[in-house]
């Protein structure tokens, strides 16, 4: 269990992105934050201004009375702050030199340079947010689409934490009833009654965990993106499909087979899903050494892809290379695209051994079928997840692992009941599930894990 601490030293860091900009912010948090900035500030007495006010003035170097910058200083008093400590934010002119001079000045007057994620770590240690909410802060910073931000914001608001705490409370209620039955047995068959209680409640809790885990695949995609490889033999229109999806002439398109010699990558947003599109070189046997390298890269991209868009030319009969690619992608998550539908059709659909729902006719020239591809990708990602669940997705690999381990502990409970093991031993597995769920919110997390998690944050957050 993490020990809550409030007597931290004062930390400081630049809270805005490096480089030139209209403003930059140097943030301080800690008991002496206001006094330290006040000793460098010419304007109002910051120790006497009201909380959550913005104050105009100048930052000076007391050692030589040199003016460093004209600033606006925000003063926010504990406990109604991000860290639940006094926070001061110096809003200075954007730019590397001015910002760093102010940072170095506050560091030389008592503050310590903050570690990555230390402001958010203090918010957690001071009880303002739980660990899942702290991790959601990082997810918001790194979100690639509006849907990713929406899911992260829901987690920041405590949607996942509420579900986890409800599960832990349910486990505590079960353990309490078991303890009462053991200590004060009212029936001769109290063990039978207790086993029945454990069996019923364990199944209920396990089902709720499975419901949360059912969103893990979608959550991982929203957090990390969906790598989608566009494959096919040369000159079937792969680059044209890429350009149509991103609505930009990113890839070179010609009638010459083998134009694309290297892998072309582009990111797009489809219904809030971050998609990394990978346009590959045409896969075929070739004597050209450079094209061979491109084909090899294409095969590697195919192996790493989460989704495959296999493009065939509907205006030509099926070739041996098409058949090879159909076989190669048979066990992948794929969509088959019959391109060039604006030309007379010569490809027999029946020769494609696949579900017709996975086949889309397109024309990169007329844009026919492009929106259908996007809708199909959306259906694949969110298939099986109800719309009510789409904003409460489990996105974090650590959370997914802990949920799976908690589920296994409940399976051990059920296994123990089936084998008629002593109730006090079965309780141990139930308690383990409670502990594992607590690691998600930080109620049972260890200091070493905290240091690892917050080290992944950017400096100043």
What's the CA gap between 86 and 51, in Å, rounded?
9
Q: Is 260 annotated as a binding residue?
A: yes
β-pair type (359-361, 334-339): parallel
Q: Is 43 annotated as a binding residue?
A: no
Sign of CA dihedral 403, 405, 409, 412: positive
CA distance 444 to 461: 24
89 is in an annotated binding site: yes
Question: Cα 58 to chain center, whole Å?
Answer: 40
The answer to whether the annotation marks 257 as part of a ligand binding site is yes
> Burial code of 302-337, b = ≥16 C-beta within 10 A, e = fewer?
beebbbbbbbbbbbbeeeebbeebbebbeeeebbbb
236 is annotated as contributing to ligand binding: yes
Is 235 annotated as belonging to a binding site?
A: yes
Does 138 belong to an annotated binding site?
A: no
Question: Does 227 show up as a binding residue in the annotation?
Answer: no
Q: 269 CB contacts (<8 Å, ≥6 apart)?
A: 144, 145, 146, 275
The closest of 200, 172, 213 to 414, measured between CA atoms, is: 200
DSSP 8-state assignment for residue 53: E
> 378 labelled as ligand-binding?
no
* 94 has binding-site annotation: no
Residue 183 marked ligand-binding: no
Does 254 belong to an annotated binding site?
yes
Separation CA 419–CA 231 (nearest Å): 52
- Please state, in angstroms and rounded to a whole number, the distance separating the CA atoms of residues 394 and 214: 9
C-alpha torsion 258→262→268→273, nearest 10:
100
Burial 366-394 (b: 16+ CB within 10 A, else e): eebbbeebbebbeebbbeeeeeeebebbb
Tell me if 281 is assigned to a ligand binding site: yes
The answer to whether 117 is annotated as binding is no
Q: Is 8 exposed, middle or buried (0-12, 13-18, 19+ CB in 10 A)?
A: middle
Q: Are 344 and 315 in contact (CB under 8 A)?
A: yes
Confirm or deny that 432 is annotated as ligand binding: no
Dist. CA 271–CA 249, nearest whole Å: 21
Does residue 461 have a known ligand-binding role?
A: yes
Paired residues of 268 in beta bridges: 275
- 136 known ligand binder: no
- Closest Cα partner for 301 from 279, 327, 284, 321? 279
110: alpha, beta or left, given left = phi > 0 and alpha = psi -120 to 50? left
In 3D space, the residue among 391, 393, 403, 384 whose CA is nearest the CA of residue 441 turns out to be 403
Output the furthest CA–CA distance in the chain (Å, rounded): 86
User: Has 259 been labeled as part of a binding site?
Assistant: yes
Pairwise CA distance, residues 427 & 338, whole Å: 58
- Binding-site annotation, residues: 27, 89, 128, 235-240, 254-260, 279-282, 461
Annotated binding site for K(+): 235, 254, 256, 259
- Residues that constitute the known binding site for (6S)-5-formyl-5,6,7,8-tetrahydrofolate: 27, 89, 128, 461
Annotated binding site for GTP: 235-240, 254-260, 279-282
Q: Which residues are annotated as a binding site for Mg(2+)?
A: 239, 260
């Amino acid at each position: 269990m993490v020990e809550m601490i409030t007597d931290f030293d004062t930390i400081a860091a630049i809270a805005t992105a490096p480089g030139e900009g209209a403003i930059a912010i140097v943030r301080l948090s800690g008991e002496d934050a206001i006094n330290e900035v006040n000793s460098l500030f010419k304007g109002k007495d910051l120790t006497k201004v009201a909380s959550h006010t913005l104050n105009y003035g100048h930052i000076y170097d007391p050692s030589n009375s040199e003016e460093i910058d004209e600033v606006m200083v925000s003063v926010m008093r504990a406990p109604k702050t991000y860290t639940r400590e006094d926070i001061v934010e110096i809003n200075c002119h954007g730019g590397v030199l001015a910002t760093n001079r102010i940072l170095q000045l506050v560091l030389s007057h008592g503050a310590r340079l903050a570690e990555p994620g230390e402001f958010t770590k203090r918010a957690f240690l001071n009880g303002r947010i739980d660990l899942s909410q702290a991790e959601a802060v990082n997810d918001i910073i790194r979100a690639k689409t509006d849907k990713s931000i929406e899911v992260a914001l829901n987690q920041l608001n405590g949607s996942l934490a509420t579900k986890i705490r409800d599960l832990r409370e349910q486990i505590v209620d079960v353990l309490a009833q078991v303890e009462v039955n053991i200590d004060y047995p009212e029936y001769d068959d109290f063990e039978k009654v207790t086993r029945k209680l454990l069996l019923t409640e364990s199944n209920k809790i396990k089902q709720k965990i499975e419901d949360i885990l059912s969103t893990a695949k979608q959550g991982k995609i929203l957090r990390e993106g969906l790598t989608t490889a566009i494959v096919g033999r040369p000159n079937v229109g792969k680059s044209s499909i890429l350009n149509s999806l991103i609505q930009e002439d990113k890839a070179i398109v010609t009638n010459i087979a083998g134009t694309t010699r290297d892998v072309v990558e582009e990111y797009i947003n489809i219904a809030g899903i971050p998609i990394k599109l990978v346009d590959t070189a045409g896969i075929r046997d070739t004597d050209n050494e450079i094209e061979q390298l491109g084909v090899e890269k294409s095969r590697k991209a195919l192996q790493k892809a989460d989704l495959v868009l296999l493009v065939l030319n509907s205006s030509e009969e099926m070739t041996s290379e098409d058949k090879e690619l159909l076989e190669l992608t048979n066990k992948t998550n794929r969509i088959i695209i019959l391109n060039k539908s604006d030309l007379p059709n010569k490809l027999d659909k029946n020769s494609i051994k696949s579900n017709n729902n996975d086949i889309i006719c397109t024309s990169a020239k007329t844009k026919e079928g492009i929106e259908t591809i996007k809708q199909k990708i959306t259906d694949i990602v969110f298939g099986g997840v109800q719309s009510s669940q789409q904003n409460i997705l489990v996105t974090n690999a650590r959370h997914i692992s802990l949920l799976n381990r908690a589920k296994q502990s409940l399976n051990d409970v059920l296994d123990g009941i089936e084998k008629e093991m002593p109730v006090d031993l079965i309780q141990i597995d139930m308690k383990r599930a409670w502990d594992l769920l607590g690691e998600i919110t930080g109620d049972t997390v260890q200091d070493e894990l905290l240091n690892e998690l917050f080290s992944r944050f950017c400096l100043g957050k």
